[in-house]
Structure 1
Amino acid sequence: MSEFDNRSPEDVEYGLYLPYHLARAGMVDDLCDLLTDFEFIEYKLSLLLSQSLIEDYDLALQSEIQISEDKKDCLKAIQGAIRLSAHILDRDKTQLAGQLLGRLLFHDSPEIQAMLEQAKQWDSTPWLRPLTASLTPPGGSLFRTLTGHTAEVTAVAVTPDERFIISASQDKTLNVWNLETGSQLFTLRSHQDWVTAVAVTPDGQCVISASQDKTLKLWNLMTGREIYTLVGHQDGVIAVAVTPNGRSAVSASQDKTLKVWDLKTGLELFTLVGHQDGVTAVAVTPDGQCVISASSSLEQNLKVWNLESRVELLVLQGHTGPVRAIAVTPDNKRVVSASADKTLKVWDLSSGAELFTLLNNHTREIYAVAVTPDGRQAVSASLDHTLKIWNLESGVELTTLHGHSAAVTSVAMVPNGKWLVSASVDKTIKIWDLKSKPEQISLSRRKNQMTSVLEISDKQFAVLDSQNKIPKVGDLTSGAKFDILHGQTDSITAVAVTPDGRLAVSASQDAILKLWDLESGIVLASFNGDGWFRACAFAQDGMTIIASDKLEQTHFLHIEGV
């Protein structure tokens, strides 16, 4: 029994805020001991959300607290592991031990290894214990994952004051998030079809969303209320941008037009006509004088328009596939375009000349691009599940960011240049630390040869009903088939059954492995990976699960407490 159990209400409250009291009293050693005590971490998480724990580590890491560099590294690693798992732990607190082991087993800190030994003894419920460090470790570029949408996340934007993230989704909603804590604040609902794009006004007070329902909507970000619906397009609206003065918005549509709107009145000002196919992207130059638009398969080019005269100034030609996204450097001199031809091109805005092409290092089409606030780097997002960072002076790829388990659809820079936010078909938003040190631990990205495994005992079989997200279990002797395993929230990719027919494990595109008791049909334990699982099997001992995920990691998990 934990020393934190069976406390009075007064002691419970004191215990929850014990790190604050220790920091205030200058009891640094006691504070560090507490924050490396698994029992305390588990106790606090059982009563509060993970952000409260994350903030406890900030107390110990503040500049006025004098601790050794080794202890700082230790506390940062634990804090980072909790932050990387926060979206999981806030939903399923029983995964704490498994998440810490999966992210920190590699760490050589004696304090961390002692904490992990404590975690291995946790026995409150059955759980799946990682035998290897197969989850993304702390200390790398990936900082936090946000979950909450029920369908693909199509677009993301950040407010100028760096306080909020706004995400758009095929679930027809926009979610507003606290950038610092990762908490979902509220949801904007009103669109009748999936939301394709989102932009924020320069004062950070309003959000403009675009949708396949042929409309745009202007929202008050402070109240969450809809201000106007902008009606006029004859087909789905694919992209939207706001002028630097915040007075107008420019929308791009599959109806082959761009429309310019007065944000004060919600009225259409004028329409730009000239594209021969649906308009897929739009950007406004930092000086507010020009609009740059791109079209899809027929033209494969960009157009530059004078916003005041409404005249087409330039056509930028060179891509061999549809142009998906546009960004302009802060100095107003260059345009960066992203295309289905797997390339980025950099153009001179004054002449329309192509300056150079960023080589097709992506293996699938590029869907989004952003430029850092200093104009020195570009970030591309691709259907190949990765983001790449490029030097805009040399055209050289600097690094690749792995973490999404499906196509990356949108990318936005935080104004301070330190953070990057991405959105994906995997239904997540990820926050990346662009100033992080190179990862000290590189998880091997093996090409797994595992395919869906179907284990058959002498009495039972397991098959997949992927469309209905339900594994089916039946009896071979009677031929009866019945649905009993309900619980996955996305398509099932694999099922395996133990040799004795007592347990089953299911793998799913919701990135969760579930262990089932086949007699009762209940879930005994769950384990979240960083990407959706595509295969699973039991080892011969019937107590070890082997699973592979879309990020090319292989997980070895021992069943505890069963």
Structure 2
Amino acid sequence: MSGDADNEARIVDQLLAEAAAEGWYRVNPYVTRYLALHAAAAGKLPVIAGDPDYLVAADPAILTGALGTGLDPALPELARIYLRRAHSMRSAPVTERMAVLRLAALEAGEDADFHRPESGRWWPEWVQQPLIPFHRVLEGHTGGINAVAHATLSGGPVAVTGGEDGTVRVWDLVSGATIRLIEAHDGSVQAVTCIADDGNTLLVTVGDDAAVKVWDLATGTALQVLGGHEGWVGAVAATRLDGNLMVVSGGFDRTVRMWDATAGSLVETFRGHEGTVRALDVAHAGADVVAVSGSSDATVRTWDLRGGAAGGILGRHNGWVLAVAVGVVGGQATAVTTGDDRMVRVWNLESQEERHRLAGHAAWGRSAVLLVDSALALTGGADRKVCLWDVERGLLLQAIGGHSADVTGVAVTRLEDEVVAMSASDDSTVRLWSIAAVGDVDEVHHSGWVLGVAVTGALGTRVAVSGGTDRTLRVWRLADGRHLRTLTGHTGWIGRVTTSTEDGAGVVVSVGAFGEAVVWDVGDGRMIKRVVKAPSSLLDVATVRVGPATVVLTAGDDGYLRAWDIETERDVLAVRSHDGGVRAVAGRSSGERSIAVSGGTDGALRVWDLVTGQLAATLPGHTGWVREVAFLDGIDRVVSAGDDHTLRVWDLRTGSSTVLRGHRDAVLTVVGGMVNGQPHAVSASADGTVRVWDVSTGNSFGIPLGGCYGLAFEATTIVAATHLGVFGISLHRDDTTSTSGP
């Protein structure tokens, strides 16, 4: 050990002694802020990074930088678990960081025995989702990220990203830090690529300002600005052609252009696409150098760069082609394409034949890359997933979740002798994924987004029933999340689930695509009936007593609110209820009163008397779509969630409302319940949080859980349906919302 390392080790020992004497939460702030840096210099970081109390007390920004990418094999697994949620640690109060750490552990499939702080307001009890491989989240862009590429700079691996904020960021992939920021374009940076050039690394960027720019990556200096495109440029690739450095670009003007990057001159303009050029890559197919482009005209075209001629149409998608990647698979030049039709297509560039047509993404495919010297490819999509494919055999190996918005770019590099995937997203993050940690697709968890959840009594216990885009309902024991049963029968996605009015009977109703409403007996796993009354998708469902009958309420994509008897299927009400679409419905009965409250795209709530079938009141207030409506205490108070970032608590007797503010984006769902005898609401937003509200005081706090589309709330238990899976969260029984917080 060197003298400096010896000194650092002695400092570490002294700081650890102070922490042992005072406790991590009371020790001098210098210890929790700077211990990580001293420990890294002394080679002792792996020792302290296995202590959960230290991890939650430490300064998140400094500790995250010291831990780097987390791929150092000497680091304990707990350090990698921490890095999964380090971005959430920064905004969490110290008293709730242990809950965030446990959430990360459960997401990693580790049921770590962390102690629950007495002052913590929430605690993750269980998580049921496909295991997500280790990944590190990098943050810095102030808007969505459109592209990512890998490069080597000063002998070390870096990632290069381009974003909607007009900047390019260069990331050190050892530390995870931004080492260069380039103000690159007037408007969004749409695509980036890097290429080695005589010992230097050149960066090429394109953007909304119609420019193609060549940069010295090491200095951030612009070397060339190539002008000629008419409108935005959305795709770029770079290659060597007869010893010359060439850049190939495409964009709004429907052309593919080839530039001499050294001379700064336009060499060739290729025309043939009938739509905008959205994707490009360059392949060496035998003696030929070929550009492969994808367009909004649904075609994949090839272009002979050496001969300056169009090679023709390679193939077609059923929609825009948004991503192209080329490489060598099985000794053959190969292209992988994807786009609006969600399909991933594999092409042999030498024979011009389609090899595979693969399904896996649940929404548009937006990005693709082929791994060097392998038969593996990665694609990213609007379903927020990164899919790993064996393109030689035509197999989906795994769909990896984690991002909270579209995955717009994917790339591959090597770190610590390990293959690492990089993904960029509209959620403003870059994520580094360990490909070696990718596992098999399982049969227990939902294989797509989970959109709805309800709690009922069945199988001798309280259960959560969830439904989603994989067309299944899954039944989980509420206490510990154990999987009990899977129900199949829907022919399309399931968007919402509700219980029957006889709670505890184990009867639920699920709705979704194709106007289907399905009634289930959860206890014996039986479909009781399928009812189709709407010509298109049903977006919400509730049940309510009307006299002796249980009535099902549905909100339809066709703009209709429908109510029908669950036994006889007789219509009670069918009315076009809003000036636009109807998105939400809730029902409640008390004595002889039975009412439904609907919410729509017109920003209004409407109250319906289900006994008379008449409209009782119209309640304007929201300035955007109403996404959800839920009853609170009794029949006269409801809470609504809107695209205007607010919740509103309504008194149905007077029509007055109170606005609850705290979310920073559209509020997607809300449920009501009672905690300690007080009415509470739980909401989920596109801002990446679930918030718990004391509606009497307006106080709330946030839980870092993104991509949440459905909620259930019973006593002090929240069940959240997200794009990744199902989460069970318990609230502190005392004083859950005493103050407003992050």
Bin for the TM-score computed over the shorter chain: 0.7 to 0.9
Q: Deviations over 1:274-322 (max 9, x none)?
A: 33332222212258952323243546231231x2331224542354444
* Residue matched to 1:52: 66
- Higher relative contact order by CA 8 Å / sep ≥ 6: 1 or 2? 1
Paired residue for 2:669?
494
Look up the match of 1:436.
437
| Aligned match for 1:193, one of 184, 187, 191 | 187
Shift of 1:485: 1.2
Look up the SS of the partner of 1:133 in the other structure: strand
Cα displacement (A) at 1:82: 0.4
Equivalent residue, structure 1, for 2:409: 410
Pairwise CA distance, 1:21: 8.9
CA distance in 2: counterparts of 1:549 and 1:299, whole angstroms: 32
Alpha-carbon offset, residue 526 of structure 1: 2.1
Where does the alignment leave 5 or more consecutive residues of structure 2 unmatched?
1-20, 447-465, 469-495, 498-539, 541-627, 736-742
Q: Where does residue 524 of structure 2 map in the other structure?
A: none
Aligned to 2:377: 378
Tell me how far apart the structure 1 counterparts of residues 442 and 318 of structure 2 sit (CA, whole Å): 39
**Distance of aligned partners of 1:514 and 1:342 in 2 relative to their CA distance in 1, 3 Å threshold:** closer
Give the deviation of 1:249 after TM superposition: 1.4
Of 56, 65, 76, which residue of structure 2 is paired with 1:42?
A: 56
> Per the alignment, do residues 343 and 424 of structure 1 end up closer, same or farther by CA in structure 2, a change over 3 Å counting?
same
Superposition RMSD in Å: 3.8
Asked if 1:457 is matched to 2:638, the reply is no
CA contact (8 A) 2:144 2:163 kept: yes
Distance 1:4 1:147, change over 3 A: closer
Match of 2:102 in 1: 101
Question: Partner letter of residue 211 of structure 1?
Answer: G
Unaligned runs of 5+ in 1: 63-71
Q: How many angstroms apart in 1 are the aligned matches of 2:232 and 2:653? A: 54
User: Who is 1:69 aligned against?
Assistant: none
Report the CA distance shift for 1:319/1:107 in structure 2 as closer, same or farther (over 3 A): closer
Please list, as runs of the form range in 1=range in 2, the aligned pairs for 1:101-500 lying within 5 A after superposition: 101-104=102-105, 112-113=112-113, 116-117=114-115, 120-123=116-119, 126-133=120-127, 140-160=132-152, 163-185=157-179, 187-203=181-197, 205-224=201-220, 226-244=222-240, 247-286=245-284, 290-298=289-297, 300-305=299-304, 307-317=305-315, 319-330=317-328, 333-351=333-351, 353-414=352-413, 418-436=419-437, 438=439, 444-445=445-446, 447=467, 449-450=496-497, 452=628, 454-457=630-633, 461-466=638-643, 468-473=644-649, 479-486=655-662, 488-499=663-674, 500=677
* TM-score, scaled relative to structure 1: 0.80
Deviation at 1:359, TM superposition (A): 2.9
User: Structure 2 CA distance, aligned partners of 1:557 and 1:222?
Assistant: 50
Equivalent residue letter for 1:200: C
Question: Compared with structure 1, are the counterparts of its residues 274 and 512 closer, same or farther at alpha carbon in structure 2 (3 Å cutoff)?
Answer: same
- Say which SS state the counterpart of residue 436 (structure 2) adopts: coil
What SS is found at the alignment partner of 2:639?
strand
TM-score of the superposed pair, with normalisation by structure 2: 0.62
Residues 178, 476 of structure 1: alpha-carbon distance in 2 compared, 3 angstrom cutoff? farther
Larger Rg: 2
Could you list the per-position Cα deviations for residues 345-388 of structure 1 after superposition, in whole angstroms to 9, with x for gaps in the alignment? 3333334x205123334444433221111142222233343333
Per-residue Cα deviation, 1:43-99 (whole angstroms, up to 9, x for no partner): 2236844343579995xx53xxxxxxxxx8xx31x1221011012113335442112
With over 3 angstroms needed to count, the CA separation of the structure-2 counterparts of 1:497 and 1:246, relative to structure 1, is: farther
The whole-number CA distance in structure 2 between the counterparts of 1:347 and 1:14 is 53
- Contact 2:127–2:725, Cα closer than 8 Å, also in 1: no
Sequence identity (%):
23
| Deviation (angstroms), 1:405 | 4.1
Task: Specify whether residues 270 and 102 from structure 1 end up closer, same or farther in structure 2 by C-alpha distance, changes over 3 A only.
Answer: same
SS of the counterpart of 2:135?
A: strand
Amino acid at match of 2:251: S
Aligned to 1:505: 682
**411 and 264 in structure 1: CA distance in 2 versus 1, 3 angstrom threshold:** same
The alignment partner of 1:447 has SS state of strand
Q: Does 1:514 align with 2:691?
A: yes
Mapped contact 1:202–1:246 kept (Cα < 8 A):
no
State whether structure 2 residue 24 is matched by structure 1 residue 4.
Answer: yes
Q: What is the CA distance between 1:329 and its match in structure 2?
A: 1.5
- Hey, what's the Cα distance between the residues in 2 that align with 1:56 and 1:217? 34
CA apart distance, 1:192? 3.4
Hey, what's the Cα distance between the residues in 1 that align with 2:390 and 2:398? Answer: 10
1:131 counterpart letter in structure 2: E
Q: Which has the higher helix share?
A: 1
Greater strand fraction, Structure 1 or Structure 2: 2
Separation of aligned partners in 1, 2:107 and 2:397: 26
Q: Which residue does 2:88 correspond to in 1? A: 88
Q: Is the 8 A contact 1:492 1:507 kept in 2?
A: yes
Deviation at 1:439, TM superposition (A): 7.2
Shift of 1:512: 1.0
Counterpart CA distance in 2 for 1:280 and 1:291 is 17
Alignment CA distance shift 1:142-1:48 (3 Å)? closer
Rounded to whole Å, the distance in 2 between the matches of 1:7 and 1:159 is 42
The number of equivalent residue pairs is 525
Contact 2:413 2:419 (C-alpha < 8 Å) held by counterparts: yes
Moved more, 342-351 or 231-240: 342-351
Give, in whole Å, the separation in 2 of the partners of 1:317 and 1:56: 42
CA distance in 2, matches of 1:145, 1:47: 12
Task: Compute the displacement of 1:461 (Å).
Answer: 4.0
